Amino acid sequence: MGETEAAERYALSFPSAISTPFSENNSVPLVISVPRNRIGRAPVVILLHYWGATDFQLEQDAAEVMAERGIATVAMALPYHLARTPEGRRSGELAVVPDPDRLVQTMSQAVMDVRRTVDWIETQPTFDSNAIGLAGTSLGALVASLSYAVEPRIKSAAFLLGGADLANILYTSSRTGPMRDVLRSQGITEEDLREHLRSVEPLTYLKPEDRRPTFVITARHDNVIRAEASRRLMAALPNHQTLTLETGHYGGFLVQRPLLRTIGTFFQSTLQGKDFSAPGRFYSPTVRFALDLNVEQGLSVGVGIDLWRPRNSEAFGALFLTPRGFQGFTGVEMGRGFSLGITWLPRRATPGLVWSVVF
């Protein structure tokens, strides 16, 4: 696949551990990045992408950051994604479906493919098989947390925008509404689904005595994988560091480069057996799309950024750009996206009600 300034890249594939009716899904493509400046065997990190990914761009960006630190990477396509997408389907369309048996099969296949990737890494003289890390984003983080729990050869892991309690995630995520409707129409409750998914639930396998280092990156305003799921994962990881972004599920792209550098530093330290401390301060902007209702102007739409937010508080202050110009808002989040407070107009202040979505 060529070279970059920091790494050499190549691709290969191997047969999946599970055979499905879709031939495309039965082969697992890998993109390998090897640092050009390595001395001896390189530590290596397996990278797992988000749900619906159509390319490895995020993983390639991460690979470049890792290569600058002397770390190799192996990006693995999850079931029903990228080259594993059946003809006529969208990438990831068949990965998360309202069928508990299919969910179990897909998660099992993903984890077994990760373990086969570890098997392959151990055969390669380029890699240090005693320094294997694992990182995943969103759906990739869910697969990574289960893989980490059952695969002792993984020495450290980073979970970006992930969590635990798969049934609760599926029943609360903003992305799975149609799936929930189908499950409910079949009489499947959240508790029913939790019992059905027990064999692929990370909480089933994570152990309180497991001291391998982990790094959990969450987003304060995430409505795809909510805070409760992230807290459940962290509670099951006895040796974890945490970084909270002041964004929604998708806002991390605004600080992608420094975030990847922080994750790279985590692996650079932990794969060498050294301590890692998550940054105490990490700037990540809170960008909102908002509807503002106030007695002076009625309803207006705007896009803005938070300028002020006390630590551990639901209060915030934001500046919005609307069709009528700039206006400010100071208020307190009440839940379900609604905030009550004061709208600051150019000539006066007025009580305001804001509904907003954080990117």
Q: Is the pLDDT reported for residue 1 higher than 90?
A: no
What is the sign of the dihedral through the CA atoms of 82, 88, 90 and 95?
negative
Where do the DSSP E strands lie in 80-237? 127-137, 154-160, 214-219
Q: Is the pLDDT reported for residue 295 higher than 80?
A: yes
Q: What is the mean pLDDT of the chain?
A: 96
What pLDDT was estimated at residue 347? 87
- Mean pLDDT within 122-149: 98
What pLDDT was estimated at residue 225? 98
Residue 38's pLDDT band (cuts 50, 70, 90): confident
- Mean pLDDT within 209-220: 97
The domain segmentation of the chain, as residue ranges, is 2-270, 287-358
Give tens-digit pLDDT for 231-249.
Answer: 999 999 999 999 999 999 9
CATH architecture of 2-270: 3-Layer(aba) Sandwich (3.40)
What pLDDT was estimated at residue 161? 98
What pLDDT was estimated at residue 248? 97
Q: Is the pLDDT reported for residue 312 higher than 90?
A: no
Residue 159's pLDDT band (cuts 50, 70, 90): very high
Task: Give the whole-angstrom CA distance, residue 259 versus residue 48.
Answer: 16
- Mean pLDDT within 109-122: 98
pTM of this structure: 0.95
Q: Is the pLDDT reported for residue 5 higher than 90?
A: no
Residue 257's pLDDT band (cuts 50, 70, 90): very high
Q: Does residue 83 contact residue 24 with C-beta atoms inside 8 Å?
A: yes
Q: Is the pLDDT reported for residue 113 higher than 80?
A: yes
**Look-up: residue for tokens 């009625």?**
298
Task: Give the whole-angstrom CA distance, residue 302 versus residue 289.
Answer: 6
Task: Give the whole-angstrom CA distance, residue 359 versus residue 354.
Answer: 16
Give residue 25's identity as a one-letter amino acid code: N
Percentage of the chain lying above the pLDDT 90 cut: 94
